[in-house]
Amino acid sequence: MKFARYGEKGLEKPALVDAHGQLRDLSAHCEDVTGEAFESGLFEKIAALDPESLPVVNGSVRIGPCVGKIGNFIAIGLNYTDHAEETNAPIPTEPILFNKARSCVVGPYDDVVLPPGSQDADWEVELAFLIGRRTYRVSQDNALQSVAGYFVCNDVSERDYQLKREGQWMKGKCCPTFGPIGPWLVTPDEVGDPQNLSLWLDLNDERFQDSHTSKMIFPIAEIVSYLSHFMILEAGDIVTTGTPPGVGLGMKPERYLKAGDEMRLSVEGLGEQRQKVVAFSN
């Protein structure tokens, strides 16, 4: 199944994406698309419905973030060997963890706003997932049972804040609009093997990232298990799993986002994002 959320910011409604790509309203059957809803049986409840019986969402509507009521927003750094190499970073022997702020989350077609004075904002297409049940110290063999669904994330990063200021990476990862997610949350039964998905990103119609999740250093099952040995993962937490090569930081000379740019990005089977880059305005 493919879930989505539509409507004005902060007022999004839940929807199902039918076989024809139409949005079908789920408001009569669930309050929102959240980790807690999956923990309470959302998948089983919606699977029992005939999608054709649900009202079609007519007209042009904003597509919001595909997950509501997000808990922690956890990210994995340098999870593709060739991305680590292009940024002159050591190949990690354990997953590198950092946080993104929930306040940076926006919809897949919302503008990305450069913070005041930004010169080094960068793009990162990533496969992300939603935790659908409380998880602690789970084995890798059982880890994927905790995943409620997968989605596209653009881990937008201000490299000056991330790398040239003292402290942790999250300084460059949490600016407002730096976490577009969606358009869809796709359930594991439809995704199949999460390590068998292509992913790509275009900037101004030029392909910059083009890779495959089979090239991850740490696959999804290992990430979930690893995280759960350091913290309790709660239903509603989301995790983004690292980007492949092709980011602006890795280019010679380096290239970064500027107002007027447009990004398009996708992970196979999870839909496509498109964002315009705009300057900060009061």
DSSP 14-47: EEEE-TTS-EEE-TTT-S---HHHHHTTHHHHHH
Average confidence (pLDDT) over 250-259: 96
Q: Is the pLDDT of residue 271 over 90?
A: yes
Average confidence (pLDDT) over 20-39: 97
Q: Which residue has the higher pLDDT, 126 or 87?
A: 126
Predicted confidence at residue 164, as pLDDT, reads 79
Predicted confidence at residue 85, as pLDDT, reads 86
Share of the chain above pLDDT 70, in %: 100
The domains of the chain are located at: 2-53, 73-279
Q: What are the tens digits of pLDDT across the range 90-149?
A: 889 999 999 999 999 999 999 999 999 899 999 999 999 999 999 999 999 999 999 999
Q: Report the C-alpha gap between 244 and 258 in whole angstroms.
A: 21
Q: Which helix (H) or strand (E) holds 226?
A: helix 220-228
* Residue 86 pLDDT class (50, 70, 90 cuts): confident
* Residue 8 pLDDT class (50, 70, 90 cuts): very high
Homologous superfamily assigned to 73-279 = Fumarylacetoacetase-like, C-terminal domain (3.90.850.10)
Average confidence (pLDDT) over 222-235: 98
Predicted confidence at residue 279, as pLDDT, reads 95
Q: Report the C-alpha gap between 155 and 241 in whole angstroms.
A: 10
Judge contact between 155 and 240, C-beta under 8 A: yes
DSSP 130-141: EE-S-BSS--HH
Q: Is the pLDDT of residue 82 over 90?
A: no
Give the strand pairing for 105-106 and 179-180.
Answer: parallel
Predicted confidence at residue 134, as pLDDT, reads 98
Predicted confidence at residue 37, as pLDDT, reads 98
**Tokens representing residue 209 in the block:** 């990232």
Predicted confidence at residue 17, as pLDDT, reads 97
Q: Is the pLDDT of residue 282 over 80?
A: no
Closest to 106 (Cα-Cα) out of 12, 1, 25, 36? 12
- Confidence (pTM): 0.97
Using the CB atoms, write b or e for 35-64: b if 16+ within 10 Å: bbbbbeebbeebeeeeeeebeebeeeeebb
Q: Is the pLDDT of residue 197 over 90?
A: yes
Q: Report the C-alpha gap between 25 and 39 in whole angstroms.
A: 21
Contacts of 19 (CB under 8 A, 6+ apart): 51
Question: Would you give the DSSP letter of residue 188?
Answer: H
* Backbone phi and psi for residue 151, each to the nearest 5 degrees, phi listed first: -160, 170
Average confidence (pLDDT) over 63-84: 95
Judge contact between 161 and 256, C-beta under 8 A: no
Q: What are the tens digits of pLDDT across the range 132-186?
A: 999 999 999 999 999 999 999 999 999 999 987 877 888 999 999 999 999 999 9
Q: Is the pLDDT of residue 49 over 80?
A: yes
Mean pLDDT of the chain: 96
Q: Which residue has the higher pLDDT, 42 or 89?
A: 42
